[in-house]
């Protein structure tokens, strides 16, 4: 467990012993990964997560400070009386160190079609605030600096582990997304294999480099900035844009102007501007629908893999929602779920125009 402080905190956070009582069932709970021979994807089998905490009342929130006002007084997952940002191991991990799954190279039912192995890696929870009732867009720039510092440190430390292929930092917000804890928090997944989306990106990036000798993600950013029609905001170091082939009813990407593999590689001035720009962007998302105070979304940092293909990866944030209009979700029905053939109900240009409209004049970067 680590605490990251807004003032005077070390870049690596303050380490603190994890004093949560652990049973034999808690240790190494992540199970196994199995390879799908039809797609090449690795699927984590984590049956223990069926019993994870689900939308507890506020006075029983496991991420609130122990003994905080409004709590039941029972010990929470975090022993501090107050904190700024806290990072702890997920009690119900999809991947973990010392996972008790089958040995590497094992086979399901002895069949060579179905390789399996332990779900090694890490699954961490990042608490953005000790205030149960706040939201990411309400945190303020000072706290965003601390969140960026914490995610950069977790990326650096986890990327150095031998069983980690890629680190993904993300936030699920809103019950429509499937959130099981209302407390403002994100997660960090350190995968033992490169996930499917990154595998597809690396495939396209490799082909693009062979054709043009360029970096695909950098060239996409440059093309979006030249066109300008889908640019939401731009600063000295960052640009936010709606991708030309956006899949979701509301989707926006945020990318650094410099080629950067991950959060830990950002320089001080890039981190400083990021705290302002990301906060501005989340507030624009919250204003997208007049009738929705806090847009339910998934917001995730795509970072370069730690091994093969690292030179093809490039840091960028993707934020999107399943809400196509107030009270109506975009269900991934037959075409999307069955064939991964996407249909978007709103044009990318219209998404960008709305995000520009709701944020006009809200920051020095607005409209530039």
Residues in a beta bridge with 11: none
Residue 43 confidence class, pLDDT cut points 50, 70, 90? very high
Q: Do residues 206 and 93 share a domain?
A: no
One domain, residues 324 and 308: yes
Residues 244, 333, single domain; the answer is: yes
Answer yes or no: is 265 within a domain.
yes
Residue 3, pLDDT > 80, answer: yes
| 302 annotated active-site | no
pLDDT digits (tens, 9 = 90+) for 261-270: 999 999 999 9
User: Is the model's pLDDT at 367 over the cut of 50?
Assistant: no
The pLDDT of 284-310, averaged and rounded, is 97
Do 296 and 333 fall within a single domain? yes
Residue 344: the pLDDT is 94
If one counts the domains in the chain, the total is 2
Question: Domain ends where: 145, 172, 193?
Answer: 193
44, 138: one domain = yes
Sequence-ordered list of residues with C-beta below 8 angstroms from that of 7, at least 6 positions apart, any chain:
none
| Residue 246 and residue 126 share a domain | no
- Confidence at residue 368, expressed as pLDDT on a 0 to 100 scale: 38
Whether residue 222 has pLDDT greater than 90: yes
Q: Flag whether 367 is in a domain.
A: no
On whether both 185 and 214 belong to a single domain, the answer is no
Distance CA 122, CA 232 (A): 34
Domain membership flag for residue 364? no
Has residue 36 been placed in a domain?
Answer: yes
* Residue 271: φ, ψ to 5°: -65, -40
- Across all residues in the chain, what is the average pLDDT? 92
Nearest to 132 by CA among 215, 48, 65: 65
State yes or no: pLDDT of 338 exceeds 50. Answer: yes
| Structural domain of 55 | 2-193
- Same domain for 64 and 96? yes
On whether both 269 and 334 belong to a single domain, the answer is yes
- Domain for residue 366, yes or no? no
The residue written with tokens 């965003």 in the block is 144
Between 13 and 129, the more confident residue is 129
Give yes or no for residue 155 having a pLDDT over 80: yes
Domain boundary among 166, 193, 220: 193
Average pLDDT on 322-327 reads 95
pLDDT at 100 (0 to 100): 75
Residue 195's pLDDT is: 97
**pLDDT tens digits, one per residue of 47-90:** 888 888 889 999 999 999 987 655 566 678 998 889 999 999 99
Q: Which residue blocks in the chain are alpha helix, DSSP H?
A: 141-159, 196-212, 216-227, 268-286, 339, 348-359
Based on the fold, state whether residues 208 and 346 are members of the same structural domain: yes
Percent of the residues in the chain that have a pLDDT greater than 70, as a whole number: 93
pLDDT tens, position by position, 13-38: 988 887 777 665 555 466 899 999 99
Residues 280-297, mean pLDDT to the nearest whole number = 97
- 350: CATH: 3.30.428.10
* Torsion angle in degrees (nearest 10) through CA of 235, 236, 242, 245: 170
Domain annotation covers residue 368: no
The answer to whether 257 and 298 have CB atoms below 8 angstroms apart is no
Contacts of 56 (CB under 8 A, 6+ apart): 62, 181
Looking at the structure, tell me whether residues 172 and 238 fall in a common domain: no
Co-location of 243 and 338 in the same domain: yes
User: Which one of 153, 183, 185, 316 is the catalytic residue?
Assistant: 185
Question: Lowest-pLDDT range, 12-21, 104-113, 307-316?
Answer: 12-21
What pLDDT score was predicted for residue 366?
Answer: 40
pLDDT greater than 70 at residue 362: no
Q: Which of helix, strand or coil describes residue 48? A: helix
Domain final position from 138, 166, 193: 193
Structure tokens, 94: 């999809």
**365 in a domain, yes or no?**
no
User: How does pLDDT run across 157-189, given as a tens digit for each residue?
Assistant: 999 999 999 999 999 999 999 999 999 999 999
Coil/strand/helix, residue 328: strand
The answer to whether residue 7 sits within a structural domain is yes
């Amino acid at each position: 467990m680590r605490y990251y402080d807004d003032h005077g905190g070390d870049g690596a956070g303050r380490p603190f012993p994890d004093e949560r009582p652990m049973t034999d069932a808690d240790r190494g709970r992540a199970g196994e990964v199995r390879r799908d021979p039809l797609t090449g994807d690795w699927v984590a089998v984590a049956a223990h997560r069926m019993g994870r905490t689900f939308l507890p009342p506020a006075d029983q929130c496991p991420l609130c400070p122990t003994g905080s006002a409004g709590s039941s007084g029972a010990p929470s997952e975090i022993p501090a009386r107050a904190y700024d940002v806290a990072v702890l191991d997920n009690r119900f991990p999809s991947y973990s160190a010392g996972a008790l799954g089958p040995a590497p190279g094992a086979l399901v039912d002895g069949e060579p079609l179905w390789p399996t192995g332990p779900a090694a890696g890490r699954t961490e929870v990042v608490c953005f605030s000790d205030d149960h009732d706040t939201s990411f867009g309400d945190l303020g720039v000072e706290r965003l600096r601390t969140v960026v510092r914490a995610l950069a440190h977790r990326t650096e430390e986890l990327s150095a582990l031998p069983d980690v292929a890629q680190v993904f930092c993300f936030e699920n917000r809103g019950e429509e997304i499937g959130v099981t804890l209302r407390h403002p928090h994100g997660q960090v997944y350190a995968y033992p294999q490169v996930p499917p989306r990154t595998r597809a990106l690396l495939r396209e990036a490799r082909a693009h480099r062979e054709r043009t000798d360029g970096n695909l993600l950098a060239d996409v950013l440059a093309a979006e900035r030249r066109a300008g029609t889908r640019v939401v905001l731009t600063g000295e170091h960052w640009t936010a844009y709606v991708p030309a082939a956006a899949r979701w009813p509301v989707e926006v990407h945020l990318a650094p102007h410099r080629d950067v593999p991950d959060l830990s590689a950002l320089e001080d001035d890039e981190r400083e501007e990021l705290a302002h720009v990301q906060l501005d962007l989340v507030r624009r998302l919250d204003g997208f629908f007049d009738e929705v105070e806090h847009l339910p979304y998934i917001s995730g940092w795509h970072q370069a893999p730690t091994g093969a293909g690292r030179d093809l990866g490039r840091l960028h944030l993707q934020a999107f929602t399943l809400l196509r209009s107030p009270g109506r979700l975009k269900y991934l029905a037959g075409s999307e779920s069955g064939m991964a053939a996407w249909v978007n109900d709103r044009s990318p240009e219209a998404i960008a125009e709305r995000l520009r409209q709701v944020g006009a004049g809200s920051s020095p970067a607005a409209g530039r």
